[in-house]
Amino acid sequence: MELFASDLHNVGIPPPPTPTDFSHHHRPSIFHTSFFWGTHAQVLFSCWPGHNKTMYGVALVLVFSLAVIVECLYHWEFVKPGPNRIGLGLFKTGIHTIRAGLSYLVMLAVMSFNGGIFLAAVLGHALGFLLFASRLLTKFRMNSS
């Protein structure tokens, strides 16, 4: 038996929402379910960066920077173990919480399915790893001194 949207009122199921039910002020929503290329995207906030190419560039820099910061917080030891274990534990917990929150922001930005945002996130993680975890720059600094 095939069920049509017009038959749903007979079985107590509400009909599927129309496209305008999801949009703000009856404007078409920018929602993609596959990767796309272009500067018209919606990243982290509704209507941002929108059609503005400058704001799209700002979004790319923001996502790139967040990814670098996530890698920094993951790999860099801010304090050495000392006698105050409770303070150290609380500090490390705070750093972990900030890192987790920033990681989720990067993930949500990538879920915009914009190819440029995806590349900015991946390249930010790569640069962050190079700077803070690969030890390549540490060896270079040691040999140059």
The domain limits of the chain are 39-144
For 33-56, how does the pLDDT look when each residue is reduced to its tens digit (9 = 90+)?
777 787 777 888 777 787 888 889
Tell whether the model's pLDDT for residue 134 goes beyond 50: yes
pTM metric for this prediction: 0.70
- CA neighbor of 120 nearest in space, from 139, 135, 105: 105
Whether 131 contacts 73, CB under 8 Å = no
